[in-house]
Amino acid sequence: MGTPIVTASPTSREHQVRSFLRTHDLQAWIAWRPDELVMLSGYFPFWGASLLLYFLDEEPVLFVPQIEPRDHIPTRLRVQEYPWGDLKCSDPYSALVSAVGDELAKARIEGQRVGMNPSASRISLPIQAAEQIPIPEAFAEQLSTLTAKPDAQRLAAFANLYLRKTREEIDAIRRANKVANVGLRVFFENLRPGITEAEVAAAVEFAIYRQIGHDGIFHSRGWAMVQSGPNSADAGRFNRSTGRRLENGDLVLIELATCVDGYWSDLTRTAAVGSPKPEVEEILAIVKEAQQAAVDGVRPGVSAAEVDTLARDKIAARGFSSFFTHHTGHHVGFRYHDPGFLILPGESAKLEPGMVITIEPGVYIRERGAGARIEDNLLVTKAGHEVLSRIEGSTLA
Amino acid sequence: MGTPIVTASPTSREHQVRSFLRTHDLQAWIAWRPDELVMLSGYFPFWGASLLLYFLDEEPVLFVPQIEPRDHIPTRLRVQEYPWGDLKCSDPYSALVSAVGDELAKARIEGQRVGMNPSASRISLPIQAAEQIPIPEAFAEQLSTLTAKPDAQRLAAFANLYLRKTREEIDAIRRANKVANVGLRVFFENLRPGITEAEVAAAVEFAIYRQIGHDGIFHSRGWAMVQSGPNSADAGRFNRSTGRRLENGDLVLIELATCVDGYWSDLTRTAAVGSPKPEVEEILAIVKEAQQAAVDGVRPGVSAAEVDTLARDKIAARGFSSFFTHHTGHHVGFRYHDPGFLILPGESAKLEPGMVITIEPGVYIRERGAGARIEDNLLVTKAGHEVLSRIEGSTLA
């Protein structure tokens, strides 16, 4: 993809992005989705209304609402504020479009050399996570006057930039998994008859949120969903917590999404309360075996389908094929679910060093009143893989 | 607006929606935003990928992912599942568009008589709140072949349906406020030197999440943001929790969004730790006075600007005009921030019975290292108003 360009201190992320831009004959990219901002610049927006103008040949410019916190913006970004949040401004987006246009004009870049993903679908949540604020369609239309027409092939190539994480990004995802493990420890400590699913889940989220301020963390939020006994049999279709009280003999499953400073972990654990019946314990045993088989098979050069098969065959060998109804994994890190190929039957895409994926087979049997899934986050390394999510103890608060 | 149509048991929400449809010569409305689904049908989606086909003359049809939980779908809705979540289906939306088209054909309704809001901007979060899944643009385009062209006037009229809540909706918003007050009690109980902002906020969210299963609640989630001492002076621009430890003499502000079964509360409280300096206490005293003045003025027939002025004048009288930088309030209930007019200077729209609004003046003074805001949720009644968010004690868990 051409030779590396000369910059003061190119990171491998910069190298990837600039190779993409050159390959597609682009001189700039406009990004506003929180996950795109994290990937392109390491900046995790607060409101979700920031916009990054990424140049092929210059340092990027970041446009932020005038009410955006400024203390976590990477220092190398030139920052311009625009009147989002100003009581007296009824149309801040017009001001933003105009400012973006000015920067492009100053750099003498024409619209057909500027790329952008206008879609608001499946964006990561920003720090302010209680209400989604995708930049409105009318604004996207205004912006489209400054950019090339969306091109499916180019957008697919852009999405591929999510796939190979850099060393710094891997460290950030490792930290998200470290925090998630603090939550998982609370999960295991709270499993006892009489406690409700929601109480367990709430305790896990509590443990994750309070990590803010420790270890340099400025944002930490978990979404924990706990399903017990018969409810665990639903966990292949959806994950939520109810008021059901745990009982002796239950399987209890936790699905846990964790976001730390803009980087995501996606984990699942299943544990037994007391002594389940043999036909319930069997489900957990099969899932453990299938998950470990797929984990063991993760290395560069194997296809997604091959990894999927490692888990699916173990489950099929016990006669439970029809109870494993979902994929074996997906990419993770910039979002709860990153774009990119899934680990599922028939997928020929191959694993490469730097990819971070989940491995999460599950078996859910309504007739036995039980379901189980185990999910880890794995880094594909040159030598094979590193499980980022199995952490003994923790130095966090 | 015509005479009420005859149905077995019309609710006033049905009446409002059908009046809207008749006025705009529509025979059906297609809704998918979680807040629209709650408003039109009382159904709060899990995945956020459900679609409601609301007819003028027939009972609605609800299309849900095949992996959607079914236990909280109102029984009067006809339910059809579509293959969202099916491992073997790569394009579930085409199946959905086709099913919607079939229903419209069966009812002999032409595209120009079908309305829809295609925007994905500022939608409420569904139950699965860790990742936003707006129905993708490609799907919206496919759907547009079944609907009339978006019409700004019609969309504005549709948004007006959010403004006047029914008795059942008010009860649901009251319940969200009751749960939020459980969280606020935990906030006040935890204010002590040495605890971090994030620890206080995490404890509040814990208290809210664990209400699931009590009082018939199936979903309860809070987003608490706590700012103390100098950080409280930022609270007019953004709300977040940091690792700062509370100190004697701090003002501590909590911004709290709460969603219970799809209905929202939006509250703020500010309290002092120990004994603040007089110039800090003054800020809280002014805000209390201004907030109460605006609350007292809420009644049918007054304009938004008049209510705003009641708060703003009190603050101006103490010379702090420039430190009250935001609106005095907004509509609330189906979202953290409902659509509709704001309570701010120059807004001539008038309050009407059934509206639910926030009243939330604030003063934030960096030089004094302190900020304060107090926010309640008020129902406009024929006689004046009812404050939904001031609740003594609670019977919840």
How far apart CA B9 and CA A394 sit, in angstroms, is 59
Both tokens assigned to A177: 């998994």
> Contact A131/B336, CB-based, under 8 Å?
yes
pLDDT recorded at residue A9: 45
Cβ contact B253:B371 at 8 Å: yes
Dihedral sign for Cα atoms in the order A330, A331, A337, A341: negative
pLDDT recorded at residue A3: 40
Closest chain A residue by Cα to residue B257: A130
Question: Could you tell me if A128 lies within 8 Å of chain B, comparing CB atoms?
Answer: yes
- DSSP 3-state of B77: coil
Question: Could you tell me if B198 lies within 8 Å of chain A, comparing CB atoms?
Answer: yes
Closest CA of chain A from B297, distance in Å: 22
* DSSP summary character for residue B217: -
> Contact B327/A87, CB-based, under 8 Å?
yes
Which range has the worst mean pLDDT, A9-18, A120-129, A312-321, B3-12?
B3-12
Tell me the CA distances in angstroms from B22 to A87, A192, B15, B89, B160, one per residue in order: 36, 56, 11, 38, 15
Band of the pLDDT at A200, cuts 50, 70, 90? very high
Tell me the CA distances in angstroms from A39 to A17, A46, A161, B263, one per residue in order: 10, 15, 8, 34
* DSSP summary character for residue A293: H
Residue among B156, B152, B142 nearest B101 (CA):
B142
> Contact B67/A257, CB-based, under 8 Å?
no
pLDDT recorded at residue A31: 95
Query: To probe the interface with A, which of B139, B142, B211, B237 has the most A CB atoms within 10 Å?
Result: B237
Question: Could you tell me if B150 lies within 8 Å of chain A, comparing CB atoms?
Answer: no
pLDDT recorded at residue A393: 56
- Exposure of A250 by Cβ count < 10 A (0-12 exposed, 13-18 middle, 19+ buried)? buried
How far apart CA B290 and CA B284 sit, in angstroms, is 10
Closest CA of chain A from B385, distance in Å: 26
pLDDT in tens, A26-63: 999 999 999 999 999 999 999 999 999 999 999 999 99
> Contact A122/B129, CB-based, under 8 Å?
no
Query: To probe the interface with A, which of B73, B144, B210 has the most A CB atoms within 10 Å?
Result: B210
Of B66, B218, B242, the CB nearest to A218: B242
Of A205, A238, A239, the CB nearest to B206: A205
Cβ contact B248:B274 at 8 Å: yes
The mean predicted confidence, pLDDT, of chain A is: 93
Alpha helices in B191-277 (DSSP H): 197-209
Strand partners, A52: A31, A62
Band of the pLDDT at A11, cuts 50, 70, 90? low
* DSSP summary character for residue A99: H
Question: Could you tell me if A137 lies within 8 Å of chain B, comparing CB atoms?
Answer: yes
Cβ contact A208:B205 at 8 Å: no
pLDDT in tens, A112-138: 999 998 887 777 889 999 887 777 777
Tell me the CA distances in angstroms from A387 to A163, A170, A296, B273, one per residue in order: 17, 12, 10, 45
pLDDT in tens, A326-379: 999 999 999 999 999 999 999 999 999 999 999 999 999 999 999 999 999 999
- DSSP 3-state of B49: coil
How far apart CA A199 and CA A208 sit, in angstroms, is 15
Instruction: Write the CB contacts of B244 (distance below 8 Å, at least 6 apart in sequence).
Output: A213, B196, B197, B228, B229, B231
Element (H, E) at B177: helix B167-190
Question: With pLDDT > 90 as the criterion, what percentage of chain A qualifies?
Answer: 85
How far apart CA A298 and CA A302 sit, in angstroms, is 7
Residue among B218, B223, B173 nearest B39 (CA):
B173
> Contact B125/A131, CB-based, under 8 Å?
yes
- DSSP 3-state of A97: helix
Provide the whole-model pTM.
0.95
Question: Could you tell me if B210 lies within 8 Å of chain A, comparing CB atoms?
Answer: yes
Band of the pLDDT at A386, cuts 50, 70, 90? very high
Query: To probe the interface with B, which of A238, A322, A325, A330 has the most B CB atoms within 10 Å?
Result: A238
Chains A & B: contacts with CB separation below 8 Å: 179
pLDDT recorded at residue B90: 84
Nearest 10 degrees: Cα torsion A234, A183, A381, A56: 100
At residue A394, does pLDDT exceed 60? no
Tell me the CA distances in angstroms from A100 to A39, A50, A282, B137, one per residue in order: 20, 12, 59, 24
At residue A6, does pLDDT exceed 50? no
Strand partners, A385: A380
Q: What residues of chain B score a pLDDT lower than 70?
A: 1-11, 392-397
Pairing of strands B356-359, B362-365: unpaired
At residue A10, does pLDDT exceed 70? no
Query: Which B residues, 258 through 317, put their C-beta within 8 Å of a C-beta on chain A?
Result: none
Residue among A189, A219, A179 nearest A48 (CA):
A219
Section A251-275 average pLDDT: 98
